Chains A and B, each alone.
Chain A
């Protein structure tokens, strides 16, 4: 597609429920990042996918959080047993990756998925 697409744009859920957030990156972008944006916390790194390499999961805050990227394209971030502190905007971004070309490392962001846990 022309840009990074994220769905749903808004999600309200009850504490304890599982949620799935989807990211469809720009076609051909090998790098994909998930961030959490909350007031006063800036952009908190969650996970990074690069091509077929093992993902960098070092930013995932707990084992309730997981993500996968199928076929090197679409990615799903799953939060199990949601808690109120999970409420935030979840941003996905993609880039061409480490192919050495100028601009390869510029991130294109999606509009985000706003998660509210009641």
Chain B
């Protein structure tokens, strides 16, 4: 069965500190993995996806198939990074289901 686990509900860091939001997944095939972000009073939107191997707003995420992880990292957190972050997996299980983790709220403290 497909499953996405985000173990931290809340993560608080100080401005300028490194941040890592954890995501582990369960899927038997080759998944597509994404990070979506929801800023206060805004719609949920894509932050980045593993196939692009890009850095967005200083964030990166590397797919580790051995550890079935897709952790989101940023070396120096900014106050504007405070938001709700969701890890998502798109995989085939009869249909192409797109499932999300429970989310991690990141608070960057001044």
Q: How many A-B residue pairs have CB under 8 A?
A: 53
Contacts of B80-109 to chain A: CB distance below 8 A:
86, 88, 90, 94-103
Q: A109 and B45: CB pair below 8 A?
A: yes
Q: Collect the chain B residues with CB atoms within 8 Å of residue A45's CB.
A: 97-100
Q: Does A90 contact B (CB under 8 A)?
A: no
Q: How large is the interface on B (under 10, 10 to 19, 20 to 34, 35 or more residues)?
A: 20 to 34
Contacts of A67-94 to chain B: CB distance below 8 A:
91, 93
Q: Collect the chain A residues with CB atoms within 8 Å of residue B8's CB.
A: none
Question: Would A33 and B46 be within 8 Å (CB), given that A42-B103, A43-B103 are in contact?
Answer: no
CB pairs A–B below 8 angstroms (29 shown): A33-B98, A40-B9, A42-B86, A42-B100, A42-B102, A43-B44, A43-B86, A43-B100, A45-B98, A45-B100, A48-B95, A48-B96, A48-B97, A50-B95, A50-B96, A56-B97, A58-B97, A98-B96, A102-B51, A105-B90, A105-B98, A106-B34, A106-B46, A106-B49, A107-B36, A107-B46, A107-B98, A111-B43, A112-B43
Contacts from B to A (Cβ < 8 Å):
6, 9, 32, 34, 36, 43-46, 49, 51, 86, 88, 90, 94-103
